[in-house]
Structure formats: structure tokens, C-alpha cells
């Protein structure tokens, strides 16, 4: 007898809408100055963000009503498409270079970031694959290695762009999925050690990554170059105090802090809304994590459980990384704050994933 879907998780839905609302307000506040200087229109980024939010919420509402088991059929095709797009990004004439990174494909006036598709496609593929081969997960060769081979392909292509932050987010999510699926701790420990070694090698082999690491250790050693982002971000957060300087009254957004509406939007939020504002956003992400992992625990099947855990982990891991960078808790890496940073590809594919997560919540055993 088919299970009749229930209403979706309202608390999770509320957390997402609240974060999106913060995002729309902060994108306008943080980008108004640079938008006026560069485009003679203070509302330039706001208007585009409203379009992306509208499209993203529409996608979320559609996927919310699509049985999550359907995505199992699209796991392999989506992964193959992702690999093709990631290869095309690296081909001159196809990939668009911005600030020395080749991460975008251009279609007319629209641009797509394939690494954002990769985040979702890896969760879809790994969840389906691990659920299908559940009895093999205790075997390193049969259970773990197949996941690693696919991960290495995606990781390597994204690292080539270069985009270490996104590659790490995807690698960390697959690691959590292996843990959730029941992989042996000895295998996971070995993978963790190898992964850390690989990350260190990736940093040492690229001069700009090594400079970022050194700047993280002592940003004041090079305050006008490698340490500039961190110093300006901390100035913004420190200026906010408990209640902030007031919405729209940031000083750092006056072309001091780079990327104030994307990677460092949390710093502007802290400056304008203070400690209270930053804690509110962090609590909303905690709320999202609580409901997301609760859905994973209560899902009716192993596929739903893995899919919910993967989607929740991917979003929360990005939030943690972004906030860690802004607060100088880890070296600078270009990764947006989910739901809040300006951007089209990231927002739409994130909300698509949220829609799938909400659909899983309609079938959980215990509401």
C-alpha cells in the first residue's frame, strides 16, 4: 500500500525562507555602493538576486512535490553531464575566466557554474550508489573505492579551475555519506589522513594557496595584499559590536572589503546588524541542520536517509566554511554563504536540493 505524503517540514521551510530574506536584504545593502560605481544603478545586484530567488523558490516548490525516489534514476546521467560541463569549463573559448579562475560557462547573457551542479550531482550519485551497494560498504575495495574514483574525477576537475573550497566541500560531503552508510572507521580514518596529506600538497604546489595560508597565520605581514581580505573582514565584524552600526550604514562596503555581496557578505551583515544579527543567522543554519539530519534519521529507506544527510551536509558545510573564512578561522577560499550570498547557479541548485529534502520530510516515520 502506497504511503500518502504528509505536509513538508515547516520548521525547515521557515529556516530557509528566513535565510533567503536575510540574503535579499543584505545583498542590496552590501552591493548598493559597488553597483552604483560600476553600473550606475544601486539596485543592479538586488534586481538580479530577486530574479534568482524567485526562480529558486519556484524550483524548490516543484521538487518539494516530486517523489524523491525519482532522482535515483537521474543520478548517473546527471553525474555524466556534470563531468562533461566541468571539462568544457577548462576548454578555452567555452570557459569564462574571472579573477584568474575558469569556473563559468557562458550562454548569451547568462552564466552557469558547473561546480554548483557538481555539488548536487555527487550527493545524488553517492546516495543512490551507496544505497544500492549497502552490503558491500564494509569492503574497502568494493564499497569505498568506487566512490573515491568518482570523487577524484570531480575533485580533480574542480581543483583545476581552480576552486579548492568547492572541491573540499564535495569531498567532505562524500566522506560523511560514507560514514552514514556504515563504512568502517579504520577505512575512514585512513581516507582522512590521505585527504589531509593531499590538501597540504595542493596548497604547497600552488604559490597563491601557500600565500593565503601564510596570510591566515599572520595577515598583518602583508596587509595590502594577501592579508587584505582577512583584515578588512575583521574590521567589519569588529565595528559591528553587539547591535551593529545600522542596516545600510556599513563603511567597509565603500570599496574597502572585496566581494562584499558574495564571499564576504557575512562580514557586512556583522558590521550592520552586529553580534545579534550574526548569531541569528548562525542559529537559523543550526535549525536547518537539526531538521535536515532529523529527516535523515527518520527517512523511510536507506536511500532517503543518505540523500537527506548528503543534502544537509553539503549546505551546512558550505556555511561553516564561509563563516570560518570571514571570521579568520580558516584561510581564504572562495565559497558563498548558502541562501544569503549573491549568485544564480549556487542559489538555484541549493534550493533544488532543499526541495528534495522537503519532499523526503513528507514521508518520514515520525513528524
Q: In this predicted structure, what is the pLDDT of residue 254?
A: 92
Task: Report, as an integer, the average pLDDT of 32-46.
Answer: 93
The pLDDT value given to residue 106: 74
Q: Please report, for residues 116, 163, 207, 356, 365, the alpha-carbon distance to residue 120 in angstroms, rounded to integers and kept in the order given.
A: 7, 16, 30, 11, 25
Q: What is the pLDDT of residue 83?
A: 95
Could you tell me the pLDDT band of residue 94, with boundaries at 50, 70 and 90?
confident
**φ, ψ for residue 248 (rounded to 5)?**
85, -5
DSSP 8-class letter at 92: B
Report the pLDDT value the prediction gives residue 307, as an integer from 0 to 100.
97
State the chain's mean pLDDT as an integer: 91
Domain borders along the chain are: 10-361
pLDDT at 1: 37
pLDDT band at 205 (very low <50, low <70, confident <90, very high): confident
- Evaluate if residue 364 carries a pLDDT over 60: yes
pLDDT of residue 3: 62
What's CA 92's distance to the chain center, in Å? 26
Dump pLDDT digits (tens) for 276-333: 999 999 999 999 999 999 999 999 999 999 999 999 999 999 999 999 999 988 888 8
For residue 152, report the phi and psi dihedrals to the nearest 5 degrees. Answer: -65, -35
Q: Each residue of 214-272: pLDDT tens digit?
A: 778 788 878 888 888 899 999 999 999 999 999 999 999 998 998 899 999 999 999 99
Average pLDDT over residues 62-71: 96
Could you tell me the pLDDT band of residue 100, with boundaries at 50, 70 and 90?
low
CA–CA distance, 187 with 206 (Å, rounded to integer): 29
More confident residue, 273 or 220: 273
Among 355, 344, 361, 367, which Cα is nearest to 116's? 344
The pLDDT value recorded for residue 367 is 47
Rounded-to-integer distance, Cα 41 and Cα 20, Å: 22
Of the candidate ranges 17-26, 96-105, 352-361, the one whose mean pLDDT is the lowest: 96-105
Amino acid at each position: 500500500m502506497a504511503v500518502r505524503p504528509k505536509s513538508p517540514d515547516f520548521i525547515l521551510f521557515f529556516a530557509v525562507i528566513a535565510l533567503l530574506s536575510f540574503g535579499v536584504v543584505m545583498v542590496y545593502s552590501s552591493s548598493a555602493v559597488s553597483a552604483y560605481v560600476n553600473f550606475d544603478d544601486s539596485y543592479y545586484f538586488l534586481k538580479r538576486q530577486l530574479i534568482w530567488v524567485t526562480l529558486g523558490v519556484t524550483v524548490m516548490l516543484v521538487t518539494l512535490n516530486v517523489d524523491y525516489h525519482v532522482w535515483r534514476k537521474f543520478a548517473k546521467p546527471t553525474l555524466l553531464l556534470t563531468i562533461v560541463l566541468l571539462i568544457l569549463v577548462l576548454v578555452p573559448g567555452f570557459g569564462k575566466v574571472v579573477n584568474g579562475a575558469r569556473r563559468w560557462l557562458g550562454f548569451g547573457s547568462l552564466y552557469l557554474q558547473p561546480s554548483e551542479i557538481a555539488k548536487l550531482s555527487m550527493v545524488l550519485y553517492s546516495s543512490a550508489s551507496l544505497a544500492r551497494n549497502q552490503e558491500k560498504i564494509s569492503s574497502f575495495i568494493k564499497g569505498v573505492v568506487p566512490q573515491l574514483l568518482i570523487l577524484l574525477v570531480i575533485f580533480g576537475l574542480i581543483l583545476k579551475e581552480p576552486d579548492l573550497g568547492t572541491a573540499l566541500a564535495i569531498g567532505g560531503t562524500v566522506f560523511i555519506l560514507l560514514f552514514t552508510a556504515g563504512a568502517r572507521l579504520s577505512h575512514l580514518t585512513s581516507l582522512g589522513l590521505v585527504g589531509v596529506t593531499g590538501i597540504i600538497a595542493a596548497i604547497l604546489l600552488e604559490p597563491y594557496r601557500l600565500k593565503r595560508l601564510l596570510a591566515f597565520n599572520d595577515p598583518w605581514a602583508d596587509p595590502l595584499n594577501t592579508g587584505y581580505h582577512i583584515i578588512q573582514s575583521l574590521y567589519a565584524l569588529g565595528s559591528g559590536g553587539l547591535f551593529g552600526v545600522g542596516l545600510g550604514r556599513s563603511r567597509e562596503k565603500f570599496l574597502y572589503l572585496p566581494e562584499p555581496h558574495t564571499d564576504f557578505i557575512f562580514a557586512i551583515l556583522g558590521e550592520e546588524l552586529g553580534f545579534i544579527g550574526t548569531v541569528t543567522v548562525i542559529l537559523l543554519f543550526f535549525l536547518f541542520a537539526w531538521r535536515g539530519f532529523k529527516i535523515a534519521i527518520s527517512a523511510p529507506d536507506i536511500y532517503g536517509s543518505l540523500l537527506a544527510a548528503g543534502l544537509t551536509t553539503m549546505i551546512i558545510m558550505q556555511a561553516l566554511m564561509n563563516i570560518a573564512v570571514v571570521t579568520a578561522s580558516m584561510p581564504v577560499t572562495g565559497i558563498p554563504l548558502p541562501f544569503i550570498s549573491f549568485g544564480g547557479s549556487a542559489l538555484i541548485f541549493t534550493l533544488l536540493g532543499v526541495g528534495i529534502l522537503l519532499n523526503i520530510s513528507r514521508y518520514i516515520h515520525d513528524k
